[in-house]
Structure 1
């Protein structure tokens, strides 16, 4: 049956409105999709890395301090101090054998690595390494002893999971060849500035500015009677015509005497810089230069 012109007009208007509504919906979906994409890819919600790291450091400090106190209390507890250990660990029902006098004299506890080992429900699990100087009696020679302690942290409350286990020390490590191949003689201007720097840095209250680059954060230490550079060497040859701002790395071995005339051997890795045609000390390096081709030379553990 044919539609009247009135109904044909109404259908035409409805179809046009539907098309416009659909176009608007598609446009809005595109806009919201683009906004969501921008949020995900251009401005995503990022974890609070600083806050997380700070929380973990604080928890590790808490665990390390607790483990250190536990080791000291555990190694010095006597039969009359059994209850003092309850602060750290629930004692076994069958009892715990303790000496009548402290088993050891414990000094200088230090917290070593504190490692997060995972979680158990809402509890975090850690292991801490504690080292102490241990003597059988007060006048005996100390032995550095290492203990591993398992710790739980529940609601920010540490508790020992078990008693400590004595473990090996970390070992003696390895030696490396330092990269200072070019020895300096006393006639070298670099040697002269290093010697002047060391002398004034360790013994004098003024005059350091003659040897230090302007603005370098170096102030005299003072306190030594004398300080002499015994050897000095650079990581490369000293150029005859150094460019302004050119730098060298220097290692100086120093023999100093305290106010009580005790000899102290020191080593200074330095950066020297050409400033206005004169070599001057720019910094005390945090670590010396190590040869890029230097392999680790493991040190044999001495026999007791």
Structure 2
């Protein structure tokens, strides 16, 4: 049976439409599949990152604690402590000479750094760590103390931690560098910002006055419970805690609402034992109703972005 040209064209168009519809359906299904992946990623069961992180943290804590205990045992060890030494590390007799009395007095052992050095052993059954421990040490009890760093190599395995060798003394990370702070303007005692800072510091540290008078409503500052008191002058009169206030830029006398200023307060106070203590408080001030208020204690002072670092000289070195 023959089909006329009209129906031939209609069938061809129908086939083309069906083909296009099939393509769109496949694309749509693929898109839905991709959407399903995205949906599961966004709203599905999240991957468990917490458990492995906690396991690594716990392992690091055990290794660090072990190294810290070993340093406390090994450095002052005597001939009577051979068994304790064996609890940390295996050393043959010819490489272990212990004194009859402690060769050094140590205190305040602290973990400075714990570093993973790689997998060791057959089938990578062990993990090697280096742990740097800092101690205060003296030749005898009344001798001046020095700070020393020792590295303890630790092998971690399913059997627990074990030192791979005796510790060795190492250098520290360096004495560091100095950098000027960015506060360039010195405030006068008559400046409103200075007075607000002085009043806040006094209330915050000694309980003299209400902290709420000097802070913004959202500062979350309420005082430390009076751990300090004012230094007394030669006549027994209390002197101001704040000895100087410097600012990034001179604060305006009448600030606009929301305007901010960063300042640094130098403080001298007394402990309950009447010992002077020197503090610095980096603060952010904010304008509220035409007056400055303390909006918060900054986590660190503002540092210069224009000055060069000045390396601090180590022992026996000249300052560069």
Q: TM-score, normalised by structure 1?
A: 0.83
**Counterparts of 1:259 and 1:82 in 2: how far apart (Å)?**
45
8 Å CA contact 1:229, 1:253 repeated in 2: yes
Which region of structure 1 is more displaced relative to structure 2, 26-35 or 164-173?
Answer: 26-35
Pair 1:265-2:278 in alignment:
yes
Q: Distance in 2 between matches of 1:213 and 1:251?
A: 18
Cα distance, 1:173 vs structure 2: 0.2
Equivalent residues of 2:89, 2:162 under 8 A apart: yes
Q: Which moved further from structure 2: 237-246 or 137-146?
A: 237-246
Could you say which residue in structure 2 is the equivalent of 1:135?
A: 138
CA deviations 1:71-127 (Å, max 9, x no partner) are 111111111211111211122264621111111111111110111122221322211
Give the Cα–Cα distance (whole angstroms) in 2 for the partners of residues 258 and 247 of structure 1. Answer: 32
Match in the other structure for 2:147 = 144
In the alignment, which residue of structure 2 is the partner of 1:72? 72
Cα pair 2:184 2:249 within 8 Å, conserved: yes
Which residue does the alignment assign to 1:109? 109
1:199 corresponds to: 202
- Contact (CA 8 Å) 2:256, 2:289: kept in 1 or not? no
Q: Tell me, yes or no, if the aligned pair for 1:112 and 1:131 is still in contact at 8 Å.
A: yes
Alpha carbons of 1:156 and 1:31: their partners in 2 closer, same or farther (altered >3 Å)?
farther
Give the RMSD, CA atoms, in angstroms. 2.8
Q: Distance in 2 between matches of 1:267 and 1:33?
A: 60
- The answer to whether the Cα contact below 8 Å between 2:187 and 2:250 also exists between their aligned partners in 1 is no
Confirm or deny that 1:153 pairs with 2:151: no
Match of 2:17 in 1: none
- Determine the structure 2 residue equivalent to 1:17: none
Task: List alignment gaps of at least 5 residues for structure 2.
Answer: 1-20, 231-239
Name 1:286's counterpart in structure 2: 299
1:174 aligns with 2:169: no
CA contact (8 A) 2:205 2:227 kept: yes
On the 8 A contact 2:202/2:209 being kept in 1, the answer is no
Where 2:229 maps in the other structure, the secondary structure is strand
The aligned counterpart of 1:57 is 57
Query: 1:6-39 deviations in whole A, cap 9, x for unaligned?
Result: xxxxxxxxxxxxxxxxx99x97898479626853
Of the three residues 170, 187, 201, the one matched with 1:184 is 187
Equivalent-residue separation in structure 1 for 2:35 and 2:158 (angstroms) = 38
SS at match of 2:107: strand
1:215 match: 218
Equivalent-residue separation in structure 1 for 2:116 and 2:75 (angstroms):
25
Structure 2-normalised TM-score?
A: 0.79
In the alignment, is the contact (CA less than 8 A) between 2:256 and 2:288 conserved in 1?
A: no
2:155–2:164: 8 Å Cα contact kept in structure 1?
yes
Q: Is the CA contact 2:184–2:248 (under 8 Å) kept in the aligned structure 1?
A: yes
Which residue matches 2:266?
A: 253
| Residue 37 of structure 2 is aligned to residue 39 of structure 1 | yes
- 1:227-260 CA distances to partner (integer Å, 9 max, x unpaired)? 5211111112313553211111100111112233
Cα 1:49–1:295 shift into 2, 3 Å: farther
CA distance in 2, matches of 1:191, 1:240: 11
| Alpha-carbon distance in 2 for matches of 1:29, 1:157 | 55
